A = this chain, B = another copy of it.
Amino acid sequence: MTTIHDVARVAGVSISTVSYALSGKRSVSASTRQRIQDAVRELDYRPNAGARMLAGRRTYILAVTEPLRADTYAPAHMAFVLAVTRAARRHDYDVLLLTQDEASGGLQRVTSSRLVDAIVVLDVLTHDERADIVRALDIPAVLVGVPADTSGLVCVDLDFAQVARMAVDRLVEAGHTTVGLLGHQSSAYDGGSNFPPRLRDAFLAHAAERGVVGRFAMPERDPGQVGSAVDELLGPDADLTGLVMHCEEPLQVRALAALRARGLRVPQDVSVISAASTFDTSMFTPPLDSIPLVADESCELAVELALAQLDGTVRPTVELLPPHYLDLGSVADWSA
């Protein structure tokens, strides 16, 4: 193993000079720095992680807690884990993965053993024990998602309410007067996740504000019941012309099939918007307008806020990212 001593010897300087040259925390003359960098390259030197953790005040490791429960939609969650990992690497951090079984114990463990510098909490539930844990833990933490009680927490999330308003506005401005929201399976609304209700409530409220009829339906027990949820939205007179979907990919596929099966064309008969989707709606038939849930953006911000807490203090905050509308032609203009 090559150590900082080897580098110092080869460069003909003391180890502290090597350390300063590499960290940049004190000035080092250009020529010396050059010799040190040459030595580093020649020896393929990489600082020992353990030593750096012990001596310095940083471990350069971030804990990511993602429960990965059985009922979660893996692709979306995976995307967030990935996005955090990439964001972390951009800041020279590695990611330690904490899962379900380790939710509370793991957070305690990695915190008190000083294994990680900060924690990123993914897949946050409305009432999430991990929120209480990080609150108590005195370690920089950022939640991606918004729990019921955000006091003392730093949270980052897409502005789901704004997504709903944006979708409603788009449809209203295109002349639609009856709009519906197809939601997740009902279990998503009573148990846990915080964002489905946020989007739903804003949808219905904003439809009312804009003076149009707003409906909401969800597949009751299993995805097979998308059909009846679609029927419910269409209404007895089949007068729905604007459909917003906030659910997982397979459900959206089936909902489109259900429309097709009922002889309804998109966008001629029904305009459709995919809201807060984590997948690519341009591959759908037809491609759907969407207001995507971009994991990269929120995770980058989450990592930044987590690391920012290590030096300058970041005060508790809830950062809601503004959504962006992606127009792919699945909304027909009826206003003319």
Chain A positions near chain B (C-beta within 8 angstroms): 1, 44, 46-54, 59, 61, 64, 68, 74-75, 77-78, 81-82, 85-86, 89, 94-97, 99-102, 106, 109-110, 112-115, 250
User: CB-CB < 8 A to A106: which residues of B?
Assistant: 89
- Beyond A68-B82, A102-B89, is A49–B114 a contact (Cβ under 8 Å)? yes
A-B contact pairs, 23 of them (CB 8 A): A1-B114, A44-B112, A46-B113, A47-B113, A48-B113, A49-B50, A49-B110, A49-B114, A49-B115, A53-B53, A54-B54, A64-B97, A68-B78, A74-B74, A77-B78, A82-B99, A82-B100, A89-B106, A94-B115, A95-B97, A96-B96, A96-B97, A250-B250
A123→B204 CA distance, assembly (Å):
44
What is the distance, in angstroms, from A62's C-beta to the closest C-beta of chain B?
Answer: 10
Query: Is the beta-carbon distance between A49 and B44 smaller than 8 angstroms?
Result: no
A102, chain B: closest CB distance, angstroms = 6
Write the nearest CB–CB distance from A246 to chain B, whole angstroms: 20
DSSP class of A's interface residues: helix, strand, loop or mixed?
helix
CA distance A53 to B82 in the complex (A): 27
Complex interface: chain B residues within 8 A of A54 (CB): 48, 50-51, 53-54
**A259 CB → nearest B CB, Å:** 17
Name the residue on B nearest A285 (C-beta). Answer: B224
CB distance from A294 to the nearest CB of B (A): 15
Chain B residues lying within 8 Å of A96, measured Cβ to Cβ, are 61, 94-97
Partner of A85 from B44, B99, B115 at Cβ < 8 Å: B99
- In the complex, which of the residues A89, A100, A250 has the most CB atoms of chain B within 10 Å of its own CB atom? A89
Determine which residue in A50, A85, A86 has the highest number of CB atoms from chain B within 10 A of its CB, and name it: A50
Known: A49-B110, A82-B99, A89-B106. 8 other contacts (CB 8 A): A1-B114, A47-B113, A48-B114, A53-B54, A68-B78, A85-B97, A85-B99, A94-B96
Q: Which residue of chain B has the shortest Cβ distance to A95 in the bound complex?
A: B97
Contact B85 A46 (CB under 8 A): no
- A95 CA / B47 CA spacing, docked (Å): 20
Cβ contacts under 8 Å, A113 to chain B:
46-49
Q: How far is the CA of A51 from the CA of B56 in the complex (A)?
A: 11
